[in-house]
Each structure stands twice: as C-alpha cells, then as structure tokens.
Chains A and B, each alone.
Chain A
Amino acid sequence: MKEENILDSEIRVIGGNQKPPQTPFPWRLFAIIVGVITVIGLIVWWQWPEASDKPDEPGLFEQEQPIAQPHPLVNWFASIDTIRTIGTVTKDISINDIPLRVYAPLNSTPHLEIGYKIADNRESSILFFQAADVRADNGKIVGAFVLHGKPLSWGLSKRGYCAIINGEVTVGVADNSPLFEKATNENGDFFRQYPLVDNGKLVESELKSKAIRRALCDVEGHIVVVETQTIESMHDFAHALIDIGTSNAIYLVGSSSAMGWSMDAYGNGTKMGLWDPRKIKNISFIVWAK
C-alpha cells in the first residue's frame, strides 16, 4: 500500500491525511425537497393571475374607483326611431361636469360643401357644421380636401380625417388614409382635422386654450356631432368624448362664432354661431341633407 511506502529517512503523522468516510448524498431527501418546491411553484404560478386580477383594497385616504357605468347614450340610441324620424335628434348630457349636446342626424345624406350657399339653402339640410379649417393668410383649406371626388387641397397638417363615401361617414386618425384616394375615385368627400380620439384612446392636442368645442364622433357605429355648452380645453373635451363611448373623433371648427345648423324631426331649425356671411371663399361644411 502506498501508506506503507516510507523510507527510514522520513516521518509521517498518522492520520494526517485521513478523512472520515463521505456520507452518501441524500438523494431521497433531495428528491422530496425538489418535489415540494415544484408543487409550491406550480400552485403559486396557478394562483398568481387570479391574485393579480383582484382589485387592490383602497387606502384609507384613497378614493374608491367608481364602478364603470354604461355611457348615457346607450339607451338613447336604442330609444330613437331611426326608421321614420327624419331630422336631427339632440340630447343634452353632462360628463365629468362638462355639459355636452349630442346631435344625431337621422335618415339624411352626408356630404361636404364649400361656401356660404348652404346658409341660404339651410331648409334642405337637417344638420351642418363647419368642417375643415381655412388658413387666415391665404384663405386656402388646411390639409387634404376632396369635394365630390375632386381634390381641392393636399397635405398632412392634421392627422384626423373624415371620409364620406357612398353616404357613409368614416372618422379616423392616420397619416395616410386610402380613403383619400377612394373618395377621389368614388365621387366622395374627404377632409382633415385635429384628432381627438383614436380607437378609444385620447389624442393630445396642440390647442391649449379653452373654447366651445365641437367634434365629429363615431359612437358605437353612430356618427354624431358633440358640442360643449361651456368653454373647455381640448384635453377635457376629448376625455369626455371617450367617457360617452367614442371610439374615434376628430375636431370640427369650434368657438361660439362657428356656423352651424340643426333641424329637428318637426322641421324646427336652430342656427348656431355667427351667420354674418364673411367673404371667406373656402369655408367648408359637413352637411347632412334631407
């Protein structure tokens, strides 16, 4: 044996390199521990999504979140006789302490018009509001504009758009919309405005002042015009639009002076804004004709 190999000139401390026999690795205990940890991990993993779904308890000074309520226009849309009614149905509501008036044109044909001629023929329309902005310096329309299939203006100054093709109004937010070409090809209308709501999400606006605000909105497939009754910021207005269920919305020319017209189902018309015809050549309107 190696240990016995020692010379007379050497010494060796006995047991100096001795080690006690190694205890065999406790595989059974190890397997049990691993199994228990795995089971606990699976349980935690299984329960975790449910736990995270549970709403947190509100703090002592924390306001409890209000339970989501259906927006106030849900029942209103259902109650309207959309087959026989010809005219604009209005509803006044208040959202987030912002008084809003909702205009829903029924059984009408939407299109765009340019010029003040519409003011003289207002009896033929059940609703119209100013649509695209006009530049103050040169009187040209801001952004892409198509009138009855004829492009009158190009360019992207505002990401919101409204396309009227075959009597159907589409409101959306996009840098490039194929509906511009489609409106051109199919004798439709198209204009651009500030975006307010994009697929249910608020779009911040560069306009920071407060004014009477108007918007063209798509609320659950219904195209309506919403107008504030008090001066509001664009942000608060867009937020209120989301709260009434708007999926997409673009701005319409606002302020208390912007022209508008509404006629109810009984033929009673209401003028809005200043009807003092200014000689602005390119003033545009979105019109719902009888």
Chain B
Amino acid sequence: MMNDFIHLDAYLVQIRHKNLHISQKKQYLCTAIAIMTNTHLIISTSNDLLRVAARHILYISSDGNYCNFFQTGGEMRLVTFQLGQIERMIADQLPELSQNFVRIGKSLIINLNYVYYIHVPKQQLILVDNQQNRYTLSASKEALKALKELIENGKL
C-alpha cells in the first residue's frame, strides 16, 4: 500500500510537470486514477469504458487485432485493443498487481492466481476460477516449461 502512495505521488508530480507532452500526461493521469481506484483496469474507447477488477481477470487472449477478456464467472468480453496494448495498460494501471499477470507467447495473458494445472508435453494449461469453472488453454511447450519453472521457483 505504501508503494502505491509512492508511485501515485510520482505520477502526480509528472502530471504537474510543465515540460511533459499532453499525451504523456493523459497516460499518467489514467495510471494515477487507476492507482487511486485501486485494483481496477480501465479500458476506455471513444464510445465505451470497461472497468474490470484485476482479481476478476482470468485471462486475455488475442483475436486478430482485438482481444477477448475472460473474467471469473465465465463472462467474456471483446475489446478493440491489441494484446500488446492491453499488456501496457495492465503494466501502467496496475503497477502493484501487474506482476500477477504473465504474457505467454503472442496470444495470451493469464492471471497467475488462477493457474491450476500445467502439462508441458500435452501443451496444456488449466485455469480454475473461484467458482471452480475450468478453462483449458494451449501454449507452446517452451512457454509452459518456463511458466512452470517460474511458479516452482516462487519468484511470484
């Protein structure tokens, strides 16, 4: 929590900085708002706004130039952003929680909190949400092996 305040202060200082470009200021403002609203990821377009609690994000998979947001409880939502853009939003808006999310290859971001089973030879990754719903995903052997080691080593 203390880290949140330190980061928030840093972002607010940047926003007040005279020489900063307006677009950068907007990004910092978004991040500052996200920090203040604590644990929510905000995905805003000209027409709509999606506000999702980080703990409800199960995984995000890419679908061409768009992404599918899979949330606990089985809800899925399509957002008109690429996976790389979503990755940056998570990193910016959830500075403390972003490390719960792992980008796996080109087409997947998962919430580590819901990893239930990894089988490297079968290239199988199973997530289970709070309501015991199972979500079976597929990834490369190398990526799953690395994920397995990451969790084994307890770096997260």
Contacts and interface: CB of A to CB of B under 8 A. Distances in A.
Interface stretch (B44-52, B63-71, B72-80, B99-107): B99-107
A9 B140 CA distance: 6
A67 B61 CA distance: 97
Contacts of B103: 6, 11-14
A8 B88 contact: no
Given A4-B84, A9-B143, A22-B10, A14 B105 contact: no
B84 A3 contact: yes
Interface in A79-93: none
Given A16-B99, A24-B17, A11 B104 contact: yes
B40 to A, nearest CB: 16
Given A4-B84, A14-B90, A15-B101, 17 more contacts: A1-B84, A3-B87, A3-B88, A7-B105, A10-B105, A11-B102, A11-B105, A11-B143, A12-B103, A13-B155, A14-B101, A14-B103, A18-B95, A20-B7, A21-B13, A21-B14, A24-B17
A20 B11 contact: yes
A50 B95 CA distance: 59
A155 B91 CA distance: 97
Nearest to A12: B103
Contacts of B1: none
Contacts of B22: none
A10 B102 CA distance: 10
B146 A14 contact: no
Contacts of A18: 91-92, 95, 98
A237 B126 CA distance: 108
Contacts of B84: 1, 3-4
A1 B91 CA distance: 14
A213 to B, nearest CB: 83
B6 interface: yes
A22 B17 CA distance: 11
| Chain A interface, DSSP helix/strand/loop, else mixed | loop
A23 B94 CA distance: 19
Given A3-B88, A14-B90, A24 B13 contact: yes
Interface of A: 1, 3-4, 6-16, 18, 20-24
Contact of B98 (A1, A9, A15, A20): A15
Given A13-B156, A14-B91, A21 B28 contact: yes
16 contacts: A3-B88, A4-B87, A7-B106, A8-B139, A9-B143, A10-B142, A11-B143, A11-B146, A11-B147, A13-B103, A14-B101, A16-B99, A18-B91, A20-B10, A23-B14, A24-B17
B150 interface: yes
Contacts of B109: 14
Interface string B142-156: 110011001000011
A7 B103 CA distance: 10
Contact of B106 (A6, A14, A15, A21): A6
B150 A8 contact: no
B6 A15 contact: no
A13 B105 contact: no
A1 to B, nearest CB: 7
A4 B86 CA distance: 11
Nearest to B18: A24
A10 B99 contact: no
B99 A23 contact: no
Contacts of B98: 14-15, 18
